[in-house]
Amino acid sequence: MIPNNYHELNYSKIATYLFCPFLYKLKYIEGRREGLVAVTSLGVSIHKTLEEYHTNSNDPESLLIYYNRCFLGAGYANAAEQMEYYLKGKRIIEDYAKREKYRQSEILGCEKEFQFEHNGWKFRGKIDRFEKLPDGTYHVIDYKTDARISDNFDVTKSLQLALYTVGTKRALGKTQGKASIYFVALNKIFSIPFDEVNEDFVLDKYIEIGEKLEGTDFPPCTKSCIQCLFRMRCPHSIHTERYIKFNRL
Ligand code: SF4
């Protein structure tokens, strides 16, 4: 079966394939959905809150109002878990509001889309926050809501920021600036200047993986099972949690 977005690449596809090729097959070829759990649900709520806030207000006093409007109740095991995560998110938003009082950048867009073509492939992306800095350069931000940063995290190796940098230059026409991953729950930001991204290397890497996406071989990567939301349903999972056959869902 050939997916209908054949020859189109984005970071989510690439990241999913690198995490586990079989997971890519489940999600992008068979169209199965992961569903929400507490952590991912709160992540959606925070992203939506910041998008609505920066698009409609930019008054820090209003942030909690947007959070209450955007908080998603789905994905929680019960009301107690939902309240626990609501309060976690509220703390994140309150801290973000304090930092907003000192922000000097000008927000140019949220969920800003770009697309461009290269060597017959279409590249697409969506930038969480796109802004202009006081020195006139541009800043591309991807929010992460993780509660901890992985020991091997290295912003200079981020294929996501690399693609966003190339997209900002080629599709949005902004060549000077930096791209960042902003861990909003931890108030930590990691940046890479646009100049340090090797465009040819990044695009070649995406296309190299893209060619595998259009092949027929999607082997399971069982070292990822422990972090995989499909581990309860996947026939290849080595995780000890119960495996449920697809046809019982
Ligand atoms: S459970 Fe393991 S093998 Fe199955 S899709 Fe997830 S990571 Fe891949």
pLDDT score for 232 = 86
CB 46 near ligand 1, within 6 Å: no
d(CA 240, CA 125): 36
33 Cα–ligand 1 center, Å: 13
Fold classified for 106-205 = Lambda Exonuclease; Chain A (3.90.320)
Q: 126 — phi, psi (to 5°)?
A: -135, 120
pLDDT score for 2 = 45
Report the atom number in ligand 1 closest to the C-alpha of 20.
8
Mapping DSSP onto H, E and C, the string for 180-213 reads EEEECCCCEEEEEEHHHCCHHHHHHHHHHHHHHH
d(CA 228, CA 239): 9
Looking only at the bridges linking them, the beta strands covering 8-9 and 121-132 are parallel
The secondary structure of 11-48 as a DSSP string is: HHHHHHHHH-HHHHIIIIIS-------HHHHHHHHHHH
In single-letter form, the type of residue at position 176 comes to: Q
CB 228 near ligand 1, within 6 Å: yes
Report the atom number in ligand 1 closest to the C-alpha of 237.
1
CB 225 near ligand 1, within 6 Å: yes
Residues of the chain with CATH 3.90.320.10: 106-205
pLDDT tens across the length of the chain (249 residues): 445 566 999 999 999 999 999 999 999 999 999 889 999 999 999 999 999 999 999 999 999 999 999 999 999 999 999 999 999 999 999 999 999 999 999 999 999 999 999 999 999 999 999 999 999 999 999 999 999 998 889 999 999 999 999 999 999 999 999 999 999 999 999 999 999 999 999 999 999 999 999 999 999 999 999 889 999 889 999 987 654 444 433
Nearest CA to ligand 1 atom 7: 225
**Mean of per-residue pLDDT scores for the chain:** 93
